[in-house]
């Protein structure tokens, strides 16, 4: 029996794992891999303490840190995909994995993150990291002085556009509907910028280019006409898909399937279950935030375990 099971090996899970080791909570950290989403990023330039680090190197640092502190307190179960998290009659929690393993603990911390909804058109996969990107705060500055497009008319799309307007030559936002999902104030702010262009009721159909992106073809839904934007970067903000299927029978999720939490302590609606990072309904999603929320959860879990 463990004190704690942590599901996920991104910044949230690893930060919690390091704190669990130092507080000597008997913990098992289960994850497909250590590193998380930004492992694919070539340049992370906002991980505090490092001016620049590749995602793969950040993942190695995470692993090194865990290995240095885990001793016989934190067990790593890697290469495992969690399929269910249930509360038992005695108040403990059991996690099952795809390979048939089972882990039982007094408490559970869900840090399983999320995946970006991909742009599903020809060329999008080929040009990923060659002009097609899913993270404006990470890659935006690389497109200084260039013409770029944002796909998506929700808050994320408009906030991305606002960020990009600080350094891009122009930003064209493409939205598939006539009405925006984003807050009117955000839409107004972006629309007022002289370098902002908005195309509504249009669907991207192809990313074009040679070695790097040079254009985005889209279809005007009203006229059926195909147009092409000449741009060097495409920022996709088509939403995220939280990795929360295994917990949906247990904890409250919001309409986007993110775990609802109390942001003061990361508690879910179920006593004994916490969540942190991109799998939660926390408003902002970044590596530093995920790590901080993992720590916040762990502090609260420690107090909770000690007063059981």
Ligand X SMILES: Cc1cc2nc3c(=O)[nH]c(=O)nc-3n(C[C@H](O)[C@H](O)[C@H](O)COP(=O)(O)OP(=O)(O)OC[C@H]3O[C@@H](n4cnc5c(N)ncnc54)[C@H](O)[C@@H]3O)c2cc1C
| CB 129, min distance to ligand X, A | 8
Beta strands 114-116; 240-242: pairing state:
antiparallel
* Among 3, 13, 20, 124, interactor with ligand X by CB under 6 A: 13
157 contributes a contact to ligand X by CB under 6 A: no
Give the contact letters, 22-51, x = binds to ligand X (CB under 6 A), - = no: --------xxxx--xxx-xx--x-x-----
Q: Which is nearer to ligand X, 82 or 174 (CB)?
A: 82
CA distances from 107 to 3, 7, 103, 284 (A): 6, 11, 11, 25
Q: Which residue, among 60, 54, 57, has the nearest Cα to 42 in the 3D structure?
A: 54
Alpha-carbon span 171 to 139, nearest angstrom: 14
**C-beta separation of 153 from 238 below 8 A:** no
242 contributes a contact to ligand X by CB under 6 A: no
* Among 29, 287, 298, 305, interactor with ligand X by CB under 6 A: 287
**C-beta separation of 148 from 123 below 8 A:** no
* Among 18, 21, 135, 251, interactor with ligand X by CB under 6 A: 135
Give the contact letters, 62-101, x = binds to ligand X (CB under 6 A), - = no: ------------------xxx-------------------
243 contributes a contact to ligand X by CB under 6 A: yes
**C-beta separation of 10 from 290 below 8 A:** yes
Alpha-carbon span 132 to 187, nearest angstrom: 23
Residues at the contact surface with ligand X, assessed by CB under 6 A? 7-13, 30-33, 36-38, 40-41, 44, 46, 80-82, 111-114, 116, 134-135, 138, 243, 246, 277-278, 285-288, 290
């Amino acid at each position: 029996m463990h004190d704690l099971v942590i599901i996920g090996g991104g910044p949230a899970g690893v930060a919690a794992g390091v704190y669990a080791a130092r507080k000597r909570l008997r913990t098992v950290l289960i994850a497909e891999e250590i590193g998380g989403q930004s492992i694919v990023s070539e340049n992370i330039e906002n991980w505090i303490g490092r001016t620049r680090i590749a995602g793969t190197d950040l993942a190695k640092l995470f692993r090194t840190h865990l290995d240095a502190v885990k001793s016989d307190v934190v067990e790593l179960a890697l290469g495992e995909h969690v399929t269910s998290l249930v509360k038992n009659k005695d108040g403990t929690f059991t996690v099952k994995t795809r390979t048939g393993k089972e882990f039982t603990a007094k408490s559970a911390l869900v840090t399983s993150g999320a995946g970006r909804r991909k742009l599903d058109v020809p060329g999008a996969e080929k040009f990923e990291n060659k002009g097609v990107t899913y993270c404006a705060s990470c890659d935006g500055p690389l497109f200084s002085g260039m013409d770029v497009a944002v796909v998506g008319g929700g808050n994320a799309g408009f906030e991305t556009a606002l960020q990009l307007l600080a350094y891009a030559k122009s930003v064209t936002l493409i939205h598939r509907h006539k009405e925006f999902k984003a807050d009117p104030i955000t839409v107004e702010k972006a629309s007022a910028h002289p370098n902002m262009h908005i195309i509504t009721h249009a669907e991207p159909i192809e990313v074009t280019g040679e070695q790097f992106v040079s254009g985005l073809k889209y279809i005007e839904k009203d006229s059926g006409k195909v147009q092409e934007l000449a741009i060097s970067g495409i920022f996709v903000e088509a939403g995220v898909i939280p990795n929360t299927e295994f917990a949906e029978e247990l904890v409250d999720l919001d309409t986007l399937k993110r775990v609802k939490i109390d942001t003061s302590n990361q508690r879910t609606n179920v006593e004994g279950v916490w969540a942190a990072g991109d799998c939660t309904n926390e408003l902002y999603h970044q590596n530093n935030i995920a790590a901080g929320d993992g720590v916040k959860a762990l502090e609260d879990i420690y107090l909770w375990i000690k007063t059981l």
